Every structure is written in structure tokens, then in C-alpha cells.
Amino acid sequence: MELIDITVIWMGIIGLSVFMYVLLDGLDLGIGILYPFAPDEQSRDTLMNSVAPIWDGNETWLILGGAGLLAAFPAVYAIYLPALYLGVFLMLAGLIFRGVAFEFRFKSERTRPFWNAAFAGGSLLAAAAQGFVVGTYIQGFEVEGYTYVGGPLDWLTPFTTFTALSLVIGYALLGAAWGILKTEGITQRWLYRLAPWLLLALTLCLVGISTWTPLTQDRIMAHWLDNWTVLWPLPALGAGAVILYWQALRRRWELVPFFAGMALFVTVYLGLLVSQWPYMVPPAITFREAASDPQSQLFLLLGVLFLLPVILGYTAWTYWVFRGKVQAGSGYH
């Protein structure tokens, strides 16, 4: 037995990378989802510019998550991707259209409606596809050994459709909070009006998932009932985040909704992990069984420990260079 458990450290690193991605690209995608409903074209420009400097770097967390999974937990990489084959394609197609539409829209007149649709549609598609991944994770995978043996559309069920809808609403809420923080005037007022409804819808969705999951998954039900005394803070903190969010919207606070939304996502994310613990490919493969050779994990860990702080450092520096509220029309001329 080692003094330090590398696999647990890797669990933390991957968990953090995935969460960074969900949080950061979640708000980009949320802006894309809200985008068609914005009050006018000027607002749409402002919304787009509010995520313009960051979407590129945010997407890199997805690549790190993918490559990191391959390196540290190859079973997850080699089972999730085949199981979600068509969903993964839809997600990537969505991300491609979101990415390029983003850029081409500002240069276009005649083709602008097309790039508008590509931006909103691409964001929606990518968000929904990620929601299907979450649903499939809760639902579980049919495997033999380390090979996926289920059908091509196992990820498409009423339950996963519900989680997809929930994540779309969740991302829209993250996007709304980001928009409140980065915009002013008519756009911000519109978001203040819209956000309470999104918050209400997301809360209902989360209650729905929390009821539906244990009713269909005996193992998860037993897990929560057995450990209720330890796990109760998670739903309590989630409820607290919702109440705080609500108050912040009522009082027109700018920064608090963003952090309250983050807190809500943290509790839901931890709740999901706890529900399936210690399984990484439920219901068969634990995180320890999914792990790669400890020697490989160590080789990469050395690099991560040195490079991740450097990356976070220079990322923070560019956020600082491009700080401040987005002024309408100033983004790209």
C-alpha cells in the first residue's frame, strides 16, 4: 500500500476538470440557449460578446477531461463513448456549430439568420447531449468485463430525456446569472425577469430527478437511506442555494446569483457522485477498477501538479486583462 493514494487524487482531478467544464462552458452554452429569446438584436450582440473571450479556453477543459479520463480511468473513456456514440456525435456537431457560428455571425448580413440559428441550436444540442450523459450515468451501463455490450440507443429513455431537459434549464440559469453580471440596461432587466422562472423550473426538475432516481434504482435508494445522517447536508445546501438565489434576484444583486447558481451545481454534482459511489461505470465498475496503471497515473500526476497551477495562473491573468462589463457594440469593431 502506498502512502498516498494516487487513484483518489486522480478522482479529485478528473472530478474538478469535469466540474470546471460544466460550470464554465455551461454558462457559455446557457447564453446560447437564452439567445433567441433576447429582447432585440443589440441584446444578442451583447450576450455573445459577454462569453466571447472565454468560450475557447472553457472548451479546453472538455479536452482535458477527455484526455485525462483516457489516462487515469480508461474504462470510463472506453465504455461511455461507445455507449453514447450517437449522442457524442450530436454534442460535437453542436459544439462545432456553436464555435464557428459565434465567430462568423458578426461578419454576416445575408447569412446572419443562419449563424444565429447555428449558435442557438448548437448550444441547445450540446447542452441536451450532455444532459443525456448525466441521465445515462444515473441509469447505468450494460457491460461485460470492460466492454460496452448495450444497444446503440440505450441512452435515449424517458428518464434521460428528463435529465437532458433539466440540464438545458440548468445551463440557461447559469447563463442568465453570467448575463446579469456582464450586462446592463434592457438586457439585464430582461434576465432579472426571466431568471426566477428558470430557477423555479430547475428546482422542480431537481425534485423530479431526486424522486424518480431512487424509485427506479433500488441501490441508490438504499444508499441514501443507509447514510441519511451523513448525506443530509447536500440537499439542505442545495435548498439553501435556491433560496439565496431567489433573494438575490428579488434584491437585484449582480454577483450573488452567479455564485448561488455555482453552489447549486456543486451540491447537485456532489449528490450525483455520492449516489453512485464508488461506481464510476454503474452498476459494475468502481473507480478503482476503472483506474489505469498506478505508474501511468503517477507519471501524469507529476506534470499536472506542476502545470495546472501555471495554467490557472495565466488563465486568470487574461481574465484580468479583458475584465469589465461588456459595452453594447464595443466588442468586435
Site for other proteins in 191-250 (CB under 8 A): none
Interface pick for other proteins out of 18, 59, 123, 284 (rule CB under 8 A): 59
Regarding 113 and contact with other proteins (CB under 8 A), the answer is no
Alpha carbon dihedral 29, 25, 70, 287, in 10-degree steps, equals -100
Q: Which is nearer to other proteins, 59 or 167 (CB)?
A: 59
Q: Among residues 8, 63, 117, 207, which is the contact residue for other proteins, using CB under 8 A?
A: 63
79 vs 273, beta carbon nearer other proteins: 79
Q: Considering the rule CB under 8 A, would residue 155 count as an interface residue with other proteins?
A: no
* Closest approach of other proteins to the CB of residue 97, in Å: 7
Give me the least distance between CB of 328 and other proteins, in Å please.
11
How many chain residues touch other proteins (CB under 8 A)?
73
Residue 272 binds to other proteins (criterion: CB under 8 A): no
Counting contacts by CB under 8 A, is residue 126 touching other proteins? no
Which one of 186, 262, 263, 308 is in contact with other proteins (CB under 8 A)? 308
Cell numbers that stand for 75 in this block = 474504462
> How far apart, in whole angstroms, are the C-alpha atoms of residue 322 and residue 332?
13
DSSP 8-state secondary structure symbol assigned to residue 107: G
| Cβ contact 130:91 at 8 Å | yes
DSSP H or E stretch at residue 269: helix 256-276
Name residue, grid cell 441536451.
Answer: 128
Stretch that binds other proteins, among 65-73, 127-135, 176-184, 278-286 (CB under 8 A): 65-73
- For other proteins, the closer of residues 112 and 189 by Cβ is 112
**Which residues partner with 281 through β-bridges?**
285
Distance CA 28, CA 215 (A): 33
Largest CA distance in the chain: 65
Binding to other proteins in span 71-110, by CB under 8 A: 71-72, 74-75, 77-83, 85-86, 88-89, 92-93, 95-97, 99-100, 102-104, 106-110
Report the residue from 8, 39, 111, 216 that binds other proteins according to the rule CB under 8 A: 111
Position 258 contacts other proteins (CB under 8 A):
no
User: What is the 8-class DSSP label of residue 282?
Assistant: T
Rounded CA-CA distance 84/148 in Å is 10
Residue 75 to residue 108: CA distance in whole angstroms: 44
Say whether residue 19 binds other proteins (CB under 8 A).
Answer: no
Beta-strand relationship, 143-144 and 147-148: antiparallel
